[in-house]
Each structure stands twice: as structure tokens, then as C-alpha cells.
Amino acid sequence: MNQVKLIGVLVLGISLLISCDKESFNMEELEGSWFRSYKNKVWGGHNKPSFERGESHITITFSDNGEFVRNRTVLGIYEGTNINDTSAIVIESGTFTTENDAIEILLNERIWWDSFYEGMDGFEASGIEANKYKDITYQINGKELKLEYFIQTDIISDEQETPGLDKFEEVFIKLK
């Protein structure tokens, strides 16, 4: 009889481990703001190489209520500007859910501002593709967040793993 109870307890324990909601564990790890910075690549023109000018700073935030915000600030990209001059800002927002190591983001707003358009008084809304980010997976290692995802493109090349989708791999550092 004790063996039956022991087997029952083991089966119950294994069932609980298998059905354990990994989403909430990952969600807590993911919550907060993450940052990355990189040099901008600028097209050099026909038959000229691309070159670096200015930087892009990206902050992504995953809130505990399921809200997602991606803020990209571009600095010093235009000729004659200083590295600290804000050239453009793009903010995308929406909601997210997680399951195991996958994130699903559903965008509902995109606003932007660009110093190239001197007459812009403030941010303007633009069209948004709700499912822009596809097949997002993530790994968290201490204060590093690695995202892998795809974005649909009209250009199809042999370098794409999936025709019509460009793959991105980004590493962010946790803020605070």
C-alpha cells in the first residue's frame, strides 16, 4: 500500500512540474526596461560603400500588465549634425504575451518624429503592421536579454532563412 501512495505522490509531483506555468516565471524575468546601442550604417550612394554615422539607442519595455513599448532614438545621422543631435525618434507600442521562450507582440500604435522634416511640430502617427515582429524567441542570462525575431520584407534573397523574412538577433542590457 505504501508503494501505491508513493507512486501516486510521484505521479502527482511530475504532473505538477509538467503543468507548471513557465509563462509567469519568464514574464517576471522579462519585465522591465532593456537597452541597446549601435552605430548607424548610412548608404554611401551608387558604387560607394556604406559608412557609419551617428548612433541608434533602443529601449524596450515589458510591463507587468502586458504592455510593450519600443523606443528608437537616432542620433547624428544627418550630414552636418553632431553625434548628440537627435535626428529621429520612433515609438511603437502594443501588448505582449509569453509562452516558454517565445514572445508574441501585437502592435497597436506607431508614432514618429524626424528632424529631416523641418516643419514637424511634434510626433505623427503612422500606419502599423500589428504582427510586424514574427517568431520572437528570447533568452535571459543575468542582465542580458537576447531576442531573435523576423520582420517581413518585400525583398527576397538567398540569404534569408525563410523567403520574405529578415532575421534579427539583438542583445539588450537590463536597466536598473
Q: Write out the chain's pLDDT in tens, 176 residues.
A: 444 444 443 333 444 334 444 333 457 889 999 999 999 988 888 899 989 999 999 999 999 999 999 999 999 999 889 989 999 999 999 999 999 899 999 999 999 999 999 888 899 999 888 989 889 999 999 999 999 998 877 777 777 677 667 889 999 999 97
Read out DSSP for 122-176?
A: S-EE----TT-EEEEEEEEETTEEEEEEEEE-S---TT-SBTTEEEEEEEEEE--
User: Structure pTM?
Assistant: 0.78
- What's 1's DSSP letter? -
pLDDT score for 96 = 96
pLDDT score for 16 = 37
pLDDT score for 45 = 87
Domain residue extents for the chain: 22-174
pLDDT score for 87 = 95
pLDDT score for 153 = 77
CATH code, residues 22-174: 2.40.128
Tell me how far apart the alpha carbons of residues 142 and 88 are, in angstroms, rounded to a whole number: 31
- Contact by Cβ (8 Å): 131, 108: no
pLDDT score for 25 = 43
Q: Is 110 helix (H, G, I), strand (E, B) or coil?
A: strand
